[in-house]
Amino acid sequence: MENFTFYAPTCFVFGREKEDEVSDYVRRFGGSKVLIHYGGGSCVKSGLLGRVEGALARDGIPYVKLGGVKPNPRSGLVYEGIELCKKENIDFILAVGGGSVIDSAKAIAAGTLYDGDFWDFYEGKPVTEALPIGTVLTIAAAGSEGSPDSVITKEDGKFKRGASGEAFRPRFSILNPQLTESLSPYQTAAGITDIIAHLYERYLTTTTEVEVTDRMIEGLLLTMIHEGPRVIEDPHNYDARANIMWAGTMAHNNCCGVGRAQDWNSHNIEHELSAQYDCAHGAGLAVTMPAVFRYVMDKDVNRFAQVAVRVWGCSMDLDHPEKTALEGIQCLQNFLCSIGMPKNLEELGANAKDIPEMARRCVFGDGRPGYIEGFVRLDERDVKNIYEDMC
């Protein structure tokens, strides 16, 4: 196991109607003037935004609002948010929504305290300072409610890039599984896929002797496999939604990723898809993961066989461990299809003719060195082969 520091001081407030307590937490964590950041229709239509505004107003906490965050959140709105926060002397950002809203809020939080272009952080500058953030989560997926990460798409060039820093950990996150009941089955399934991807990206490691985090990841994967189909079958199954929601947070706050190298190449390869086609990130991952895993599994067949046996219940073929490994990858793909996710580029709405350009951008775009580093280092040809396997 490698040395690590794990500092995850987000206060998670979990359960029914917990959003009604939002102003207590804004106050506890030092907010005196708030930007409420949100997306579009659903949180307005459901009345959630109104309830949050009502809670702040009732407790005398002034706020301004900035809506309009889209899935795969864009840099344009971030610049707008930074301007607004500076002008209004905002000292706390409250994200009401899913990962896109939270990631956008994080970018605004860092940009407000920074004199340069906030995009610097998404090109590798460490995030050391940001306005404090709170969240009211509306979809179990990105894990951004407990993570130090944010992903933004730059409109100029359609680059989708991530930034990280402890200052990006929300001070509090309100997790009410009821709020996820209005999601469509497709959105729910895309969220489930994203959570599964966060677990696999950590599972694929070159670090040896990490049994504790292997086992925690496997436990969370088993949870997703059990609860995913239940919530697709009955969107109002509160307990299934609750189990998925906590699994999603634990999958990405990194308590199960410490002390081990991680992969993240499925995310890197997927980001080109959602940047180009604006598809749901989870749907893109459903297509990407099996192709990446088949491509890289020779690097450590036993690791893929291990997850096949322990999580997917495959029998170990000791004479041909690669068969067990492949069987596990197929089980993953079958599972994702069974909850309604696409299985190839066509179903995703992507076009095979764009593959060469996506492969190039993935490894060279926005200052990258000609490869992406992870469980296996992948160059342009590798990424092209992987995209072609998705056809």
Q: Is 319 helix (H, G, I), strand (E, B) or coil?
A: coil
Nearer to a second copy, 279 or 308 (CB): 308
Query: Does the footprint of a second copy cover residue 140 (CB under 8 A)?
Result: no
- DSSP state, residue 13: E
Query: Does the footprint of a second copy cover residue 255 (CB under 8 A)?
Result: yes
Query: Does the footprint of a second copy cover residue 231 (CB under 8 A)?
Result: no
Residue with tokens 């997306």: 39
Smallest gap from residue 213 Cβ to a second copy (A): 8
Q: How far is CA 136 from the centre of its chain?
A: 16
Nearer to a second copy, 11 or 57 (CB): 11
Nearer to a second copy, 178 or 276 (CB): 178
Nearer to a second copy, 244 or 358 (CB): 244
Nearer to a second copy, 2 or 357 (CB): 2
Contact pick of 67, 68, 76, 219 for a second copy (by CB under 8 A): 219
Which of 291, 140, 122, 267 shows the shortest CA–CA distance to 202?
267
Query: Does the footprint of a second copy cover residue 220 (CB under 8 A)?
Result: yes
Q: Is 353 exposed, middle or buried (0-12, 13-18, 19+ CB in 10 A)?
A: exposed
Nearer to a second copy, 52 or 217 (CB): 217
Q: What is the DSSP string of 52-119?
A: HHHHHHHTT--EEEE--PPSS-BHHHHHHHHHHHHHHT--EEEEEESHHHHHHHHHHHHHHT-SS-TH
Smallest gap from residue 3 Cβ to a second copy (A): 3
Contact pick of 112, 147, 213, 333 for a second copy (by CB under 8 A): 213
Write phi, then psi, for 172 (nearest 5 degrees).
Answer: -145, 155
Scanning 4-12, 48-56, 57-65, 74-82 for contacts with a second copy by CB under 8 A, the matching segment is 4-12
Query: Does the footprint of a second copy cover residue 242 (CB under 8 A)?
Result: yes
Contact pick of 45, 215, 299, 377 for a second copy (by CB under 8 A): 215
Query: Does the footprint of a second copy cover residue 15 (CB under 8 A)?
Result: yes
Query: Does the footprint of a second copy cover residue 167 (CB under 8 A)?
Result: no
Nearer to a second copy, 82 or 308 (CB): 308
Instruction: Sort residue 254 into left (φ over 0), alpha (ψ -120 to 50) or beta.
Output: left
Nearer to a second copy, 135 or 213 (CB): 213
Answer for the pair 387, 307: CB distance below 8 angstroms, yes or no: no
Q: How many residues does the chain have?
A: 391
Strand ranges (DSSP E) for 155-313?
Answer: 159-164, 172-175
Query: Does the footprint of a second copy cover residue 96 (CB under 8 A)?
Result: no
Cα separation, 355 vs 294, in Å, equals 18
Contact pick of 9, 41, 60, 369 for a second copy (by CB under 8 A): 9
Q: Are strands 149-154 and 133-137 parallel, antiparallel or unpaired?
A: unpaired
Cα separation, 264 vs 281, in Å, equals 14
Nearer to a second copy, 118 or 203 (CB): 203
Smallest gap from residue 227 Cβ to a second copy (A): 6
Query: Does the footprint of a second copy cover residue 223 (CB under 8 A)?
Result: yes
- Show contacts with a second copy in window 109-128 (CB under 8 A): none
Cα separation, 32 vs 354, in Å, equals 48
Query: Does the footprint of a second copy cover residue 262 (CB under 8 A)?
Result: no
Query: Does the footprint of a second copy cover residue 8 (CB under 8 A)?
Result: yes
What one-letter code names the amino acid at 376? Answer: V
Contact pick of 2, 24, 129, 278 for a second copy (by CB under 8 A): 2
Query: Does the footprint of a second copy cover residue 11 (CB under 8 A)?
Result: yes
Answer for the pair 262, 169: CB distance below 8 angstroms, yes or no: no
What one-letter code names the amino acid at 32? Answer: S
Q: Which positions lie near a second copy, rule CB under 8 A?
A: 1-16, 18, 208-213, 215-220, 222-223, 226-227, 239-240, 242-244, 246-247, 250, 255, 258-259
